[in-house]
Amino acid sequence: MLEKLFKLEHHQTTVRRELTAGLTTFLTMAYIIFVNPTMLADAGMDKGAVFVATCLAAAIGCLVMGLVANYPIALAPGMGLNAMFTYTVVLDMGYSWEVALGGVFISGGVFVLLSLFKIREWIIESIPMSLRYGIAAGIGLFLALIALKNAGIIIADSNTLVTMGDISSFPALMAGLGLCLIVGLIHRGLHGSVMISILLVTAISVLTGHSNYNGIVDLPPSLAPTWMAMDVAGALEVGMLSVIFAFLFVDLFDTSGTLIAVAQRGGLLNEQGKLPRLDKALLADSTATMAGAALGTSTTTSYVESTSGVAAGGRTGLTAVIVGLLFILALFFSPLAGMIPTYATAGALFYVAVLMISSLINVEWEDLTEAVPVVIAALVMPFTFSIAHGIALGFISYVAIKLASGRFSDLNYSVILLAGLFIVKFALL
């Protein structure tokens, strides 16, 4: 049956190798079941329900990816997108988390349409690479700011906006320990280093009396507080359009980049350098996003951590199916997830931030017409606490600078149109 479903012999792999790859991928990305509930709880959502929604959305995405697209690519609620959900849409813009979930659901539906009508490729090819790098780096800086804030390393200040907190405090010290553990374990080639760091810091917190021990295994919490709580009608108002676009935009490029990166690592591209069954892979992503919104979590996307499983020998969808089943098993570890303090996940956030900021190495720094919009997009996100604002000002500045420099040939209609829409949005605020 497995041979018929996944064509293991054709891909020169075995069931045992796929099992190992699935476990490896799960260990490298399982930190999301601890980080995501903590972040979305800041938006006012029930932490236990978000934990269940996170596991189920990841399981659905992985199972669809494995059974329909037959790729060893795992999915889960995306880092950066969950930060935008909480800190931009809910806390900064003032929308309810129900409306924010409605925006996630609509963005997933639009993603399906873009994939069906082959518009996705046109959008990706029309957006300048420099802006993509700037947006990725900006999200990284945004996550770094959140990590430092959660650790108490930086705090608000009426005179300087932010200032140094008490770095000798227990949360700050534990966050620093967590980050050092992650980097050290990764350098030593240990899979699951992020999850190990979170669990070890949590254990220290419990042993020192800073966290309460709630047990390890229990029945999953109720999903009722978030199940079908999304407000789709509320998300259709004019002010939410830029948010829906930002959800879609980030997910689109994150997914496309991850699919290509994992496929290259596993030798899954065809002779033309393209990914076969790309439409099915994108369907898995968009389906998981819509299902996740219905369950009660932010945008679900493909994880670049899947490369760890591919490196361990994963070549078929059986790897993704194994990851999905492990996420279902993780449902019974809700007490453990419930006692994870925010500073225990700060190191993980900062680590992900470093990975995203590294995209700046690809920017053409000698060309100021490319570099300046990148810096604007990257810095506006953390300084305004808004990913959407960073994307908007990145597009506007890119078009304005190219026009001022006489570089009309660098622009295309889609970039000009998007910049114009963002200008209208700011004018109507």
Six-digit token string for 223 = 């999903």
Positions of the chain with pLDDT lower than 70, given as ranges: 120-121, 124-125, 272-274, 428-429
CA nearest to 295, candidates 76, 92, 88: 76
Task: Please report the pLDDT score of residue 184 as a whole number.
Answer: 95
pLDDT in tens, 127-167: 788 888 888 888 889 889 988 998 999 998 888 888 999 99
| Long-range Cβ contact pairs of 280-283 (< 8 A, separation 24 or more) | 280/68, 280/69, 281/65, 281/69, 281/71, 281/73, 282/111, 282/115, 282/120, 282/255, 283/64, 283/68, 283/69, 283/112, 283/115
Task: Please report the pLDDT score of residue 154 as a whole number.
Answer: 92
User: With contact defined as beta carbons under 8 Å apart, do 243 and 81 qualify?
Assistant: no
CA nearest to 259, candidates 234, 243, 239, 276: 276
Task: Please report the pLDDT score of residue 124 as a whole number.
Answer: 66
Task: Tell me the one-letter amino acid at 245.
Answer: F
Between CA 83 and CA 77 the distance in angstroms is 11
Task: Please report the pLDDT score of residue 399 as a whole number.
Answer: 95
CA nearest to 327, candidates 35, 31, 14: 31
Task: Please report the pLDDT score of residue 272 as a whole number.
Answer: 66
Six-digit token string for 335 = 């007490």
pLDDT in tens, 336-355: 888 888 899 888 889 888 98
